[in-house]
A and B are shown apart, each in its own frame.
Chain A
Amino acid sequence: MGAHFRGFSMFDAFFVQQLVNGFSVGLVYALIAIGFTLIFGVLNVVNFAHGEVYMVGAYAGVVLITAFAPPLIAVVLFVMAVGAVAGFGLERLAFKPFRRFQDEASLKSKAMREATLLSSLAVSIVVREIVEKLFGGAMRPVPFEAQLTEPIQVGDLSFSTGQFVIFGAAVAMFAGLQFLLYRTRIGLSIRAVANNPLGAKYVGINTDRTIIATFVVGSVMGAVAGILVALYYGSVFPHMGFAPGVKAFVAMVMGGLSSIPGAVICAIFLGLSEAVATEFLAQGWSELIAYGFLLLTLIFFPTGLFGGARDRV
C-alpha cells in the first residue's frame, strides 16, 4: 500500500513544501503590511517611504553585524532604535508640514493629502539614493554566520531557521500591536486619532504627538522586518523595499485599507497564492498575482475583502 501511494505522497510533500515557502513569503509581506496599515489607519494617507524604512533597517542591522557581530537580540534592538529615529524624521519631514493648515478648503482638499504621497515618495527616493551612494547599488551579502538559513528537516519538509524567526516575529508584532492598540493609553489615543482627529483634539489628545508615536511604532516594525528578512534571504540591496512594499500595499487594500488583521490575512493569502501559482504558471508570471488581486479587489470589493466595515486601525 505504501508503494502504491508513494508517488502521490511525494507530490503531496512537494506541494506542502511550496505552501510552507509561500506562507513564509506571506509572513514577510505581513511584517511590512502591519506598520504600513497602522500609519494609513491614522493619517488616511499612504506612506510611500515605508519600504525604505524597511531597507534602512536591514542596512543598519547588516552594518552593525559586519562591525561587531553581536547576538541577534542586540541587532534587533539596534534596528528598532534606528527605525524609531527614521519614523520620527520621516513624519517631521514629509507629513507634519502638510498638517499646519486649518481652513476648511485645505482640510477637505485632496491635493493636500496627495501632497504627502509625493513628499513621502520624495523622501524614499532620496534615502534610496543615499544608501546607494554609501553602499553601492549591488546586492550585499549578509555575513554568513549571521544568516538565518540553517536548514531544519521535519519529515519530508525542510524549513530554515529564518522561517521560524519570521513566523515568531510576525506573531510577536501582531500580538504586540494589538496589545498596544487595545490595552494601553497611547493605543487608545492612536485609535481615537484614527477614528476622528478633530474629536481627538476636543478630548485633549495631543494629536501631533500621537501621530509621531504612530510613525515611530510603524517604522520600528518596518525596520525590524527589514533586518529579519535580510538575514532570512541572506542579502540586502537598495531597492529591496520596493517589491515587498508593493505586496504589502496590495495586502492592505485587499484587507480593507485600515484593518491590520485584514492586511495580515491577505498578506499570507498573497504569499500562498504566489507559491501555488509558480506550480502552474511560468517563472515570472507569479509577479502578476499581486497586481491581479489588486485589480480584482478594486473592481469587485472596493472596501476590501472583509466587507464595508471601515473599522480604522
Chain B
Amino acid sequence: MSQLLEIRDLRVSMGAQPILEGVSLDVPEGGIVTVLGSNGVGKTTLMRAISGIYKVTGGDIRLDGKPINGLRSDEIVRLGICQAPEGRQIFSNMTVLENLKLGAGPRTGRAYEEDLERIVGLFPRLQERFTQKAGSLSGGEQQMLCVGRALMGRPRLLLMDEPSLGLAPKLVRQIFDLVAAIREAGTAILLVEQNAKAALRVADQAYVMESGRIVLQGPAAELAEDPRIRAAYLGGHVH
C-alpha cells in the first residue's frame, strides 16, 4: 500500500519547551493507524501539528509525498485531512445542521445534500436534532456530531483524537464500529486512543508514544500481544 501520510522526525515546541522530539509515522491509503500513550505524552500536539493548528519546529509532514507542514489549517482541510478533535470543539451555540454545514466547507447544492444524507445515514439521531443547539446534545450525540462534521469535509484522512473519551461502554463500542465503517468507505484513519485494547483491535498499525517520542511500533495485532504493551496499557492481565 502506498503511504498517504508520512511524518518524519517531527518536532514541535511551545516556546522553549519541546513537546514532540522527533516523531515518525506512516498512514497508508485506506488504513487505520493508532497512536497510544498515556496522558500528556504529546498525542494531541501531534494531531494539531498535522492539522496545521500548531506550528512545526522541525521535520516533515507529507501528504501523497508532498510536504504540508507550514500550510494553514484551512488549507490542510481543503487537501482532505479532517479532524474530530479532542474535546470535540463543536459549535455549541449553533444548530446541529449549522455544525454539519460548517464541516462541508465551500461545498453546496447537490454535493452537500448527498454528503448530508450520507452522514444522517450513519447518525440517524442527528437528524432528529437538526434544529437544536449543538450544546444541548448529550455527550455521545456531541461526539457523533463531531465525527459527522469532520466527515462532511469528505476527508481522505480522518484524524480522531480520543473519540471514546468520557462515553458509556455501549457508545464506546459504537464509536469503534464507526471507525471500521468509515475505513470500509475508503477513508484512512489516524486514531489516538486511551482505550488501547479496542484501538488495537480495530487498527492495522500501532505506535506507542512516550514523552514526545515513538517508543514502540508494529502491526496492531502484534503489539496487542507485546508484554510491554499489556503491562502498560492493557491493564497488565496476561490471559
Contact = CB atoms under 8 A, between A and B. Distances in A.
B94 A191 contact: yes
Contact of A103 (B15, B74, B89, B150): B15
Interface in A186-234: 188-189, 191-192, 195-196, 198-207
A178 to B, nearest CB: 15
* Pairs of residues from A and B, 7 with the lowest C-beta to C-beta distance, nearest first: A204-B77, A199-B89, A103-B14, A201-B73, A206-B74, A195-B91, A204-B74
A188 B102 contact: yes
B93 A205 contact: no
Given A104-B14, A185-B106, A188-B98, A204 B91 contact: no
A188 to B, nearest CB: 6
Given A192-B102, A198-B85, 8 more contacts: A102-B55, A191-B94, A199-B89, A202-B150, A203-B105, A204-B76, A204-B153, A205-B102
Contact of B78 (A105, A204, A207): A204
Contacts of A192: 91, 94, 102
A287 interface: no
Contacts of B92: 195-196
B14 A198 contact: no
A198 B77 contact: no
Contacts of A247: none
- Chain B interface residue count: which class? 20 to 34
Given A188-B101, A192-B102, A206-B74, A201 B93 contact: no
B14 A312 contact: no
A279 interface: no
Contacts of A198: 53, 85, 89
A206 B89 contact: no
Contacts of B74: 201, 204-207
B187 interface: no
B90 A312 contact: no
Contact of B77 (A185, A199, A203): A203
Contact of A204 (B54, B89, B105): B105
Interface string A159-200: 000000000000000000000000001001101100110111
Interface of B: 14-15, 51-55, 72-74, 76-78, 82-83, 85, 89-94, 98, 101-103, 105-106, 149-150, 153
A302 to B, nearest CB: 19
Contact of B51 (A189, A191, A202, A206): A202
A102 B55 CA distance: 8
Interface of A: 102-105, 185, 188-189, 191-192, 195-196, 198-207, 310-312
Contacts of A311: 93
Contact of A199 (B14, B54, B76, B90): B90
B153 A206 contact: no
Nearest to B73: A201
Contacts of A204: 73-74, 76-78, 82, 105, 153
A185 B106 CA distance: 8
Contact of A203 (B14, B72, B93, B149): B149
A103 B19 CA distance: 11
Contacts of B106: 185
Given A104-B14, A192-B102, A202 B93 contact: no
A61 B226 CA distance: 75
